[in-house]
Amino acid sequence: SNIRNLPMEKLASTMMFPCKYSQSGCAAQLLYTDKPDHEDSCEYKPYSCPCPGSSCKWYGPLEQVMNHLMLQHKSITTLQGEDIVFLATDINLSGAVDWVMIQSCYSHHFMLVLEKQEKFHGHQQFFAVVQLIGSHKQADSFIYRLELNGHRRRLTWEATPRSIHEGVQSAINTSDCLVFDTHIAQLFADNGNLGINVTISPV
Amino acid sequence: SNIRNLPMEKLASTMMFPCKYSQSGCAAQLLYTDKPDHEDSCEYKPYSCPCPGSSCKWYGPLEQVMNHLMLQHKSITTLQGEDIVFLATDINLSGAVDWVMIQSCYSHHFMLVLEKQEKFHGHQQFFAVVQLIGSHKQADSFIYRLELNGHRRRLTWEATPRSIHEGVQSAINTSDCLVFDTHIAQLFADNGNLGINVTISPV
Ligand SMILES: [Zn+2]
Ligand SMILES: [Zn+2]
Ligand SMILES: [Zn+2]
Ligand SMILES: [Zn+2]
């Protein structure tokens, strides 16, 4: 029916509802209108597998994410240190490709992602971004820097890491990451391999 | 005729020819096969007006370029100093747009160019680049840095300035400059105005 029940609407607009993750520990009570936003970023929402472009359907609590990666995604390399080189090999491979590695520093694990895709016909682009294997709040206390170094040229992007809770796709969709095209990639690549300097710092 | 005159070809391939700018002072003597490349970048070639996207047909010697800009392109702002802010207003204007200003430092004049264009359908991009009002050789002794600063984000591009002798279009065509899309522009713009920090340094 299109007839609006104003008293009911009024009542609903003032009632408080529990978060749908209350069973996992969330104590939040929310107005109906605030529920979707809260639940989308609720810290008790289970974490999905952070591997980009993977068809992995795993999800679980934050504490088990690294364990899952070690067991199910054994090919992912881990490097120790706050200042490392993320080497993407064969960047000229055609089609949508993802390069992933893990950087461990400051008692945290960060997942580095380089994604190649064609958002616009005939225009392949690379998107590089860092996500913390941790909560949004934890991610806020770090900053990452991605740097391409070439012959008398340097391209640098600095930003707050994403949390794997939100993932990297929204950052890639809105270009809120290091974006460069195949021309730029060629300027900085060596024999089809691209080294990205990654530095993580506490804020 | 398709009949090749081998003795003539052999002779021509060893003969030296003067550069076509010999009247302007170039003393180079060149093999026929080397003439086009040399003349394209010959330092005695007249300079064209460096204003991007302008229909100005002026050309002349390097010493007269600044004079030409002052007289014929009065709307171009000049700022003094090696570290300035290039403010591009109304970046949301549709269509191909150019923003231009001149930065004077180290006894040289640099032209800063921000160009908005749609290389790929539905995908507007910004290209920012610095060119020295001087020769290629003079440009080689400088480096420029363009920096966008936003909320916990920074995008930086460092490179050797172009010379106005070669111009900026080849840099824009090959993305050999600071490239960003409208999403990124929004992240760094304030009320439709984008400030780009420009720093020039001697190498
Ligand atoms: Zn919740
Ligand atoms: Zn997985
Ligand atoms: Zn010459
Ligand atoms: Zn002109």
Query: What DSSP string runs through B118-169?
Result: EEETTEEEEEEEEEESS-HHHHTTEEEEEEEEETTEEEEEEEPPEETTT-SH
The helix/strand/coil state of B21 is coil
Residue B24 scores a pLDDT above 90: no
Q: Tell me if B156 and A154 make a contact (CB, 8 A cut-off).
A: yes
pLDDT at A7: 74
Chain B hits for A159, CB-CB cut-off 8 Å, are 152-154
pLDDT at A30: 93
Beta strands per DSSP E along chain B: 16-18, 29-31, 47-48, 59-60, 77-80, 83-88, 97-105, 108-120, 123-132, 142-150, 153-159, 162-163, 178-181, 194-202
Q: What is the pLDDT of residues A144-163, one digit of tens each?
A: 999 999 989 999 999 999 99
Q: Mutate which of B142, B148, B183 to disrupt the A interface (most A C-beta within 10 Å)?
A: B183
- Provide, rounded to the nearest whole percent, the portion of chain B with pLDDT above 90: 72
Neighbouring-strand partners of residue B197: B85, B147
- Residue B78's Cβ-side half-sphere holds a number of Cα atoms within 13 Å equal to 12
Of B119, B158, B183, the CB nearest to A175: B183
CA of A121 to the centre of ligand 2 (A): 30
Q: How far B133 CA lies from chain A's nearest CA (Å)?
A: 20
pLDDT at B14: 81
Q: What is the mean pLDDT of chain B?
A: 92
pLDDT at B150: 92
The helix/strand/coil state of A157 is strand
Stretch B92-116: mean pLDDT, rounded? 94
Chain B hits for A158, CB-CB cut-off 8 Å, are 153-156
Domains and CATH numbers, chain B: 6-41 (3.30.40.10), 72-202 (2.60.210.10)
Q: How far B120 CA lies from chain A's nearest CA (Å)?
A: 7
**Residue B9 — very low, low, confident or very high, per pLDDT cuts 50/70/90?**
confident
Chain A hits for B128, CB-CB cut-off 8 Å, are none
Q: Which amino acid is at A176?
A: D
pLDDT at A1: 55
CA of A166 to the centre of ligand 2 (A): 15
Contacts made by residues B75-80, CB under 8 angstroms, sequence distance 24+: B76/B51, B76/B100, B76/B101, B76/B102, B77/B101, B77/B102, B78/B102, B78/B103, B78/B104, B78/B109, B79/B103, B79/B104, B80/B104, B80/B105
Residue B1 scores a pLDDT above 70: no
**Sign of the CA dihedral with B81 first, then B84, B89, and B93 last:** positive
The better pLDDT of the pair B32, B12 is held by: B32
pLDDT at B15: 86
Q: Which residues of B touch A (CB under 8 A)?
A: 119-123, 143, 152-160, 174-176, 179-181, 183-184, 187
Closest CA to B185 of B45, B89, B77: B89
CA of A133 to the centre of ligand 2 (A): 13
- Phi/psi at A155 (5° precision): -125, 125
Q: Tell me if B153 and A174 make a contact (CB, 8 A cut-off).
A: no
Chain B hits for A154, CB-CB cut-off 8 Å, are 156-159
**Least confident span in B46-55, B65-74, B95-104, B121-130:** B46-55
Residue B69 scores a pLDDT above 90: yes
* Residues of chain A with confidence (pLDDT) below 50: none
Question: What is the C-alpha separation between B99 and B76, in angstroms, rounded?
Answer: 9
